[in-house]
Amino acid sequence: MTTDIQTVIIGAGVVGLACARALAKAGREVLIIERHDAIGTETSARNSEVIHAGIYYPKNSLKARFCVAGRDMLYRYCAENGIDHKRTGKLIVATHDDQIPALRDIEKRAHENGIHDLVWLDGHDAIAREPALNCVAALESPSTGIVDSHQLMVTLLGEAEANGATLALNTDVVAAKFENGIFAIETRDRDGQEMSLTCAELLIAGGLHSQTLAHNFTGLPDQSIPPQHYARGCYFTLSGKAPFSTLIYPAPEQAGLGIHLTLDLGGQARFGPDVTWVEEPNYDVPEEKRAGFAAAIRKYYPALDENALQTGYAGVRPKIQAPGEAARDFLISDREAHGIDGLVILYGIESPGLTACLAIADHVENVLSRPQAKAAS
pLDDT value of residue 375? 39
| Pairing label, strands 247-250, 90-94 | parallel
Tell which residue, 377, 5, 38, 43, has the closest CA to residue 205. 43
Residue 253 confidence class, pLDDT cut points 50, 70, 90: low
Q: Report the SS3 class of residue 94.
A: strand
* Contacts (Cβ under 8 Å, ≥6 apart) of 89: 140, 141, 142, 143, 144, 145, 246, 247
Sequence-separated contacts (24+) of 329-337 with Cβ below 8 Å: 329/58, 329/61, 329/62, 329/63, 330/61, 330/62, 330/63, 330/66, 330/356, 330/360, 331/226, 332/62, 332/360, 332/363, 332/364, 332/367, 333/224, 334/367, 334/373, 335/372, 335/373, 337/224
Residue 257 confidence class, pLDDT cut points 50, 70, 90: low
pLDDT for 148-184, tens place per residue? 999 999 999 999 999 999 999 999 999 999 999 999 9
pLDDT value of residue 373? 42
Q: Are 5 and 199 within 8 A, CB to CB? A: yes
Q: Are 30 and 23 within 8 A, CB to CB? A: yes
pLDDT for 305-337, tens place per residue? 999 999 999 999 999 999 999 999 999 999 999
